[in-house]
């Protein structure tokens, strides 16, 4: 068995990975090294190295990748492994846990071969695991590595089935599980209503529209400042409006738009982040976002909206419900 003391003098090459599902909304658009999941993994790796008196990684030896652990192509992982192989002297390949390295047993074991053949131990800090190499075989550790990657493979498949099942169940219940239609309550005017009233202006330029740049400037005046969306938003919004108008009766479209206006006014009154508003949106996002879908084509009832306002905890997503109960508990304590 190998111990951290056996790694003395080895240069660390660090690989950090998160999947798109693991990044929070506050991280989107940030450089990978600034995203919380990456920060947490690197902190774990550095703590392990420090506690065991091992060298810290140089910035150029830290590799960040946004990818699924089941993706066999991962170019950043391959680059990191190649850097380790090409590096002179004693070195080690470090991850926070083996599931960061791989979530599929066959691809995971395949990717360890260049490390094994070049006497580069794979170190998983959270798993307290140091693998063997060609000149320093560690049978028990390698068996444990295989078991842990196998468990990660099973966990990945179970999670995928659970998520798919949960989405199907919620859809059948009329709950839209993705982010709902953004209607910009912070804007000075009603952005969507302006698009509805002037939909022809937002057609492509070769079809008589204003074009992306002019459309964006026009919406900027309605918004009251620089809008938090790209100059392509108007084209997508106008396409959505034309799609709805083309597949709804005039009365159905008017009902949808009146409901949208009502949600807009509620968001301006409560604020988007108010738990009452989140509860209303959770229950009504399907109709608001995708009213042509048979699962979401019914207008949310007054009773449903009032129930969401009066009892947010019973009408929130699982994640928001936990936050709500935690906030209520803190208020009671204070």
Strand partners, 43: none
The Cα 45–Cα 57 span in angstroms is 9
Q: How far is residue 266's CA from residue 262's CA, in Å, rounded to a whole number?
A: 6
What's residue 127's pLDDT?
A: 84
Residue numbers in the chain where pLDDT is lower than 70 = 1, 21-26, 28, 139, 146, 150-174, 177, 329-334
Question: Measured at the alpha carbon of residue 26, what is the angle toward residues 160 and 192, in degrees to the nearest 5?
Answer: 95
Share of the chain above pLDDT 70, in %: 87
Q: Report how far residue 201's alpha carbon sits from residue 242's, in angstroms, rounded to the nearest whole number.
A: 12
Task: List, in sequence order, every residue forming a beta bridge with 122; answer none if it has no partner.
Answer: 93
241-273 pLDDT per residue, tens: 989 999 999 999 999 999 999 999 999 999 988
Q: What are phi and psi of 63, to 5 degrees?
A: -115, 130
Residue 90 has a CB neighbour count (10 Å cut-off) of 13
* pLDDT of 157: 60
- Find the helix packing angle between 302-310 and 275-289, rounded to 10°: 150
Task: Outline where DSSP puts E strands in 51-178.
Answer: 62-66, 91-95, 122-124, 129-130
- Residues β-bridged to residue 123: 94, 130
- Kindly give, in sequence order, each residue whose CB lies less than 8 Å from that of residue 136, ignoring residues fewer than 6 positions away: 2, 119, 121
Tens digit of each residue's pLDDT (9 = 90 or more) over 9-33: 999 999 999 987 666 666 767 889 9
| Strand pairing class (91-95; 129-130) | unpaired
pLDDT at site 217? 84
pTM of the complete model beyond 0.85: no
Of 10, 14, 8, nearest in space to 125 by CA: 14
């Amino acid at each position: 068995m190998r111990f951290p003391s056996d790694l003395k003098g080895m240069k660390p090459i660090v690989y950090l990975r998160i999947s798109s599902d693991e990044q929070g909304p506050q991280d989107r658009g940030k450089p990978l090294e600034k995203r919380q999941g990456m920060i947490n993994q690197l902190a774990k790796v550095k703590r392990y190295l420090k506690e065991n008196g091992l060298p810290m990684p140089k910035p150029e030896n830290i590799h960040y990748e946004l990818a699924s652990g089941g993706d066999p192509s991962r170019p950043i992982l391959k680059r990191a492994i190649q850097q380790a192989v090409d590096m002179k002297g004693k070195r080690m390949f470090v991850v926070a846990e083996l599931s960061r390295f791989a979530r599929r047993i066959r691809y995971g074991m395949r990717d360890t071969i260049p490390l094994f053949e070049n006497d580069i131990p794979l170190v998983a800090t959270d798993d307290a695991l140091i693998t063997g190499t060609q000149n320093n075989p560690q049978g028990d550790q390698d068996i444990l590595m295989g078991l842990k990657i196998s468990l990660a493979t099973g966990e990945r498949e179970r999670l995928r089935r659970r998520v798919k099942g949960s989405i199907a169940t919620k859809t059948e219940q009329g709950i839209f599980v993705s982010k709902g239609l953004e209607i910009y309550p912070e804007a000075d005017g009603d952005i969507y209503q302006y698009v509805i009233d002037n939909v022809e202006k937002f057609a492509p330029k070769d079809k008589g529209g204003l074009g992306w740049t002019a459309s964006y400037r026009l919406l900027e005046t309605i918004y009251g400042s620089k809008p938090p969306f790209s100059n392509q938003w108007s084209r997508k919004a106008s396409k959505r409006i034309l799609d709805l108008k083309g597949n709804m009766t005039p009365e159905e479209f008017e009902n949808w738009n009146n409901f949208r206006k009502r949600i807009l006014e509620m968001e301006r009154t409560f604020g988007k982040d108010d738990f009452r508003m989140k509860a209303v949106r959770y229950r009504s996002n399907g109709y608001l976002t995708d009213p042509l879908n048979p699962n979401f084509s019914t207008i949310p009832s007054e009773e449903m909206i009032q129930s969401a306002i009066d009892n947010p905890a019973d009408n929130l997503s699982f994640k928001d419900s936990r936050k709500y109960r935690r906030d209520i508990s803190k208020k009671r304590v204070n």
